[in-house]
Amino acid sequence: MKTSSSPRHMISPAMPNCPRGCCCPGPGALVLCESLGLRSLPRSVPLDTAALSVAHNQLCDVDHLLRPFSGLQELSLSHNHLVNFPKGLPPSLRSLQLQENRITFLTAGGLRQLSNLTRLHLEDNRIRFIQPRAFLGLQELQVLSLKGNRLVGFPDYLPPSLIHLDLSANCISSLDLTSLVPLVNLQVLKINSNCLRLVPESAFDGLPRLRAVELANNLWVCECDILYLYRWLLNGRLGLATDLVCASPVHLANRLLLTLSVMAICPQALKPTDNDALDSTAMSGTALGHHMVNTGSLHTTGRLFQPSFRKTIEAAEELEPVDKNPGDFQKENVGAHHLSKRFTLEELSYEECLMLNTRPSPTLVMNGSPAPKNPKCTENSTTRFTTGDITSSSLTPPSLPITTADLERTPPFRTVGLQGSTAFIAVLATLCVLVLLVLLVVLLVLKMTLERNRRVAPSQRS
């Protein structure tokens, strides 16, 4: 029986001191107050909260309101109406999410106190200006995302601890060598969908751990100045960025960079005696395709790995072992089993938290006997098996678990069509032999006819 009321009004929070309308999934001091239309922070949030999310609300100013939360480690203020970077945040913060606000600039003073921050997400704001040395104090920062802003230059004085840097979908027109040199631990660089025309000489040479780059959708000028990037990609890095398209000059526009030869890009770069160098560095489109097929490149631009920092309950269920003993928890009760787990903002969303609080407590199945269930909850339920991207539903009700004896009685899989294929091939072979024999007979008849005509012709002349 479906009801029209929202799930957040149907359940009670898991913790007795949880603010009204929020979700607090068991011990662990995680408080989720999302999509509640809040214009100010809830007053009853416990001061010992370690992870707080007030995302998808209407907050405009939270300056100095979070300073009393001295143990706060994760904070999500995404999808609000903030116009400035929040001031007075607790120094204990390790993860800060500010996506989709209205922030226009960053100052060194606003970030200086966040020395323990490891992840900072500022995607889809309106940031045009970043004060010099603004990130200098963030010596623990590993993930920085400024995607979808209005930056025109590469940020300077980024901390050497950075592992993942996302600057895509901005207006950056050049890479600053002095800003790239300190990033000795950088592994992922996303700077696609900008206004880059070239990459300076030796720009990536000082990044020994770089293993994934996104450079597509820029204004690449396929002339002599791009030869550094061209050779850097061909030097064993074809899996990093293989779909760079030339924007100019006109005769090379819309051509893939790595399908061009050095002579086509920069004719004056090669002398007549440099044929060997031309053969070793220039790669045609066909050769490039064979190389990518043989190497099986995994980091093609546009399909670059995207680190997922959220682990949903479904992912936890998929990690459950396939072969379970009769005494294990049933799969549909995994969420309830995890009620006692300490969650973080990156592992649990607000909707998943509500689902956890509505699930029943774990039920044990002993000696293969089915556990009693509420018939109202099993009328339309199905058992789902997931393998890779293929999901199928079984007609076996969940109240009748499959036992070892049932599996033994199940007939083994058969190879369908193998014998039929063999017979078909044999028939084809027989037909081919018959056709060859007919052709031989026809040739013999023709030969005999020709010889007979030759014998008859001289007698007619005489």
Mention every residue, 6+ apart, whose C-beta is less than 8 A from residue 426. none
- pLDDT tens digit string along 384-427? 433 344 333 333 344 444 444 554 444 444 444 445 678 888 88
Joined together, the tokens standing for residue 169 give 């979908």
The mean per-residue pLDDT over the stretch 121-134 comes to: 96
pLDDT the model gives residue 353 = 80
pLDDT the model gives residue 110 = 86
Plot region of 110 (φ>0 → left; ψ -120 to 50 → alpha; else → beta)? alpha
State the virtual CA torsion across 375, 377, 380, 384 in degrees, nearest 10: -120
Residue 307's Cα: distance from chain center in Å? 6
At residue 259, what is the residue type?
Answer: T
pLDDT the model gives residue 461 = 57
pLDDT the model gives residue 410 = 45
SS3 label, residue 130:
strand
- pLDDT tens digit string along 364-386? 444 444 444 444 333 443 334 33
Q: What span, in angstroms and rounded, lies between the C-alpha atoms of 16 and 34?
A: 18
pLDDT the model gives residue 95 = 97
The whole model's pTM is what? Answer: 0.62
pLDDT the model gives residue 451 = 87
Mention every residue, 6+ apart, whose C-beta is less than 8 A from residue 340. 26, 27
Element (H, E) at 164: strand 164-166
pLDDT the model gives residue 148 = 97
Mention every residue, 6+ apart, whose C-beta is less than 8 A from residue 144. 120, 122, 135, 158, 162, 164, 165, 166
